[in-house]
Chains A and B, each alone.
Chain A
């Protein structure tokens, strides 16, 4: 085959990949800008007074940055887990790490620490995530593959879920219960730059780790053995995935509560756009996840500014119709 034709082929493939990534990045960028323009004090960039500057730099900017970081982390972790488990229905919560972060935060509220000490809540969440990650590594064992890891993750999830419910049940007073419940539903409101400094390094470090798994995930397309033959080190891969998820999703949940469906829906939707290749799905899912969370956050501020609709609820409202559509599409594909 001539040089010209074969290099055109490969260039055609990467030519379809690049625009998709650029388009997603553009959407995420637009969503980020919109997030800066929306808030209770009015639509548009706050300017003029010191208060307006304060609103922009200390309230809207952290909110937008966190939305992008958290959405990106969740999308990426979802794509990695779906690639690792070779299952398009996997999502970051399967490893039990976000559940651990939620439990840590709920304990911080329950014990009154979050009332006494401003950072107690996110730090509690981080501690919870770390404990859950260690637990899953210990439980799964040194030689575990994807299946054992998931079983361990489900065990940890169930345990922390039960403990969280227990903490809610034994709440010291109704106000604390409400605070716990609302926190669990996920929110970005009134997060400050402190939350950004706390979460950003961890999210970035964790995401960097996760991005290194791209090639291994591609190799796993052919199964565990062929992947090993292609150079995948199974325990290194598993460790990177658990550590990366613990850092990124753990920090994200610690700061914003549980925001569901992003890690499930985003990779699933974007997969056909990247030729189903696991590695190419990773950066796409970062932008896609960031875009989804930012758009949801803008939507709830525009359409329901004065109600208590939580971000996690909005993403769940996106998730449910997505699954309906998936069922309908699958039925149609399978024929009458």
Chain B
């Protein structure tokens, strides 16, 4: 069943360097999973592998029973949406057109956008609160607004799985929260979200499970309260941190680097 995206013992070498070593992760529909770790721990690479953009040297990724490598690019794009960390937009398209790019995996070769396409685009723009910019060229927007537009593109793909690399960077606190509120809605609709994050409090609050990477290997994986402990954080980040509860929500506060 395509309710499950599974990475098994994935290893990747880039330019001779081992970037990922035997990392496994299973994500089921309805889950929000965070991938965390220090800079250079291999988060972005792992996300690319699980989105099917990078073929691992060892190990495999499968969607249900099918290996990702067996899917042709458009079919893959309909199942998994990928949002890169790089926010570059090469041409100043209008917001609507940019979000519309998310429908490319669905569109028939020579046809114009269908009613379903137009509907998906509108919904995605509404969800990310960028409807009011719909006809403006994207280069006129601020960094945070542009980030939301790019997210809307991924949402417009209406895929079951969303893989996002640090999607909340540059978003103001309100929009960061609405972003995760959107993820929660998607999870409720039997979608799954895999995000790389630096904001550990957000991970603690919203994610069902957390994968903690250190130097390319999985240090821990499980529910936030098991992974986000001061000991684990010290080992992974080299930082002394406090995990507290405020208003019932878990909060992770880094205190100081460990010498």
Interface residues of A (CB under 8 A from B): 1, 6-7, 9-10, 12-14, 86, 215, 218-223, 225-226, 228-233, 271, 275-278
B84 touches A226 (CB 8 A): yes
A230 touches B102 (CB 8 A): yes
Residues on A with beta carbons closer than 8 Å to the beta carbon of B73: 228, 231-233
B105 touches A221 (CB 8 A): no
How far is it, in angstroms, between the C-alpha of A9 and the C-alpha of B48 when the chains are bound?
A: 35
Classify the interface of chain A: helix, strand, loop or mixed.
Answer: helix
Q: Shortest Cβ distance from B130 into chain A, in angstroms?
A: 13
How far is it, in angstroms, between the C-alpha of A313 and the C-alpha of B102 when the chains are bound?
A: 44
Q: Shortest Cβ distance from A17 into chain B, in angstroms?
A: 11
Residues on A with beta carbons closer than 8 Å to the beta carbon of B104: 215, 218-219, 230-231
Q: Shortest Cβ distance from B155 into chain A, in angstroms?
A: 13
Residues on B with beta carbons closer than 8 Å to the beta carbon of A226: 82-84, 153
Among A7, A9, A225: residue with most chain B CB under 10 A: A225
B113 touches A225 (CB 8 A): no
A276 touches B137 (CB 8 A): yes
A9 touches B81 (CB 8 A): no
Closest 8 CB pairs of A and B: A231-B74, A229-B82, A86-B90, A276-B91, A231-B73, A230-B104, A231-B77, A231-B105
In the complex, per-residue mask of B63-95: 1 if CB is within 8 Å of any chain A CB, else 0: 000000000111011001111101011111110
B97 touches A275 (CB 8 A): yes
Chain B: interface residue count, which band?
A: 35 or more
Q: Shortest Cβ distance from B69 into chain A, in angstroms?
A: 13
A230 touches B89 (CB 8 A): no
Residues on B with beta carbons closer than 8 Å to the beta carbon of A228: 53, 73
Residues on B with beta carbons closer than 8 Å to the beta carbon of A231: 73-74, 76-77, 104-105
Among B80, B90, B97, B157: residue with most chain A CB under 10 A: B90
How far is it, in angstroms, between the C-alpha of A221 and the C-alpha of B98 when the chains are bound?
A: 8
B118 touches A221 (CB 8 A): no
In the complex, per-residue mask of B103-128: 1 if CB is within 8 Å of any chain A CB, else 0: 01101000011000010001000100
Q: Shortest Cβ distance from B55 into chain A, in angstroms?
A: 12
Query: Which among A10, A218, A229 is the interface contact of B77 at CB below 8 angstroms?
Result: A229
**B101 adjacent to chain A (CB < 8 Å):** yes
A10 touches B118 (CB 8 A): yes
Residues on B with beta carbons closer than 8 Å to the beta carbon of A225: 48, 53, 82, 84, 86
Q: Shortest Cβ distance from B257 into chain A, in angstroms?
A: 32
A229 touches B81 (CB 8 A): yes
How far is it, in angstroms, between the C-alpha of A13 and the C-alpha of B131 when the chains are bound?
A: 15
Among B84, B107, B150, B153: residue with most chain A CB under 10 A: B84
**B51 adjacent to chain A (CB < 8 Å):** yes
B93 touches A276 (CB 8 A): yes
Residue of B nearest to A212 (CB): B109
Q: Shortest Cβ distance from B98 into chain A, in angstroms?
A: 7
Q: Shortest Cβ distance from B76 into chain A, in angstroms?
A: 7
How far is it, in angstroms, between the C-alpha of A220 and the C-alpha of B89 when the chains are bound?
A: 9
How far is it, in angstroms, between the C-alpha of A288 and the C-alpha of B80 when the chains are bound?
A: 39
How far is it, in angstroms, between the C-alpha of A233 and the C-alpha of B72 when the chains are bound?
A: 9
How far is it, in angstroms, between the C-alpha of A215 and the C-alpha of B102 when the chains are bound?
A: 12
How far is it, in angstroms, between the C-alpha of A275 and the C-alpha of B96 when the chains are bound?
A: 11
Residues on A with beta carbons closer than 8 Å to the beta carbon of B243: none
**B29 adjacent to chain A (CB < 8 Å):** no
Q: Given A225-B53, A229-B51, A229-B77, is A277 in contact with B91 using a C-beta cutoff of 8 Å?
A: yes
Query: Could you show 17 A-B contacts with beta carbons less than 8 Å apart?
Result: A6-B122, A7-B118, A9-B134, A10-B96, A13-B135, A218-B104, A221-B89, A222-B84, A222-B150, A223-B88, A226-B84, A229-B53, A229-B76, A231-B74, A271-B91, A275-B94, A275-B137
How far is it, in angstroms, between the C-alpha of A22 and the C-alpha of B134 when the chains are bound?
A: 26
B93 touches A275 (CB 8 A): yes
Among A1, A12, A13, A229: residue with most chain B CB under 10 A: A229
Q: Shortest Cβ distance from A221 into chain B, in angstroms?
A: 5
Residues on A with beta carbons closer than 8 Å to the beta carbon of B126: 1
Q: Shortest Cβ distance from A10 into chain B, in angstroms?
A: 6
B118 touches A278 (CB 8 A): no
Residues on B with beta carbons closer than 8 Å to the beta carbon of A222: 84, 88-90, 98, 101, 150, 153
How far is it, in angstroms, between the C-alpha of A10 and the C-alpha of B96 when the chains are bound?
A: 9
Query: Which among A219, A223, A229, A230 is the interface contact of B86 at CB below 8 angstroms?
Result: A223
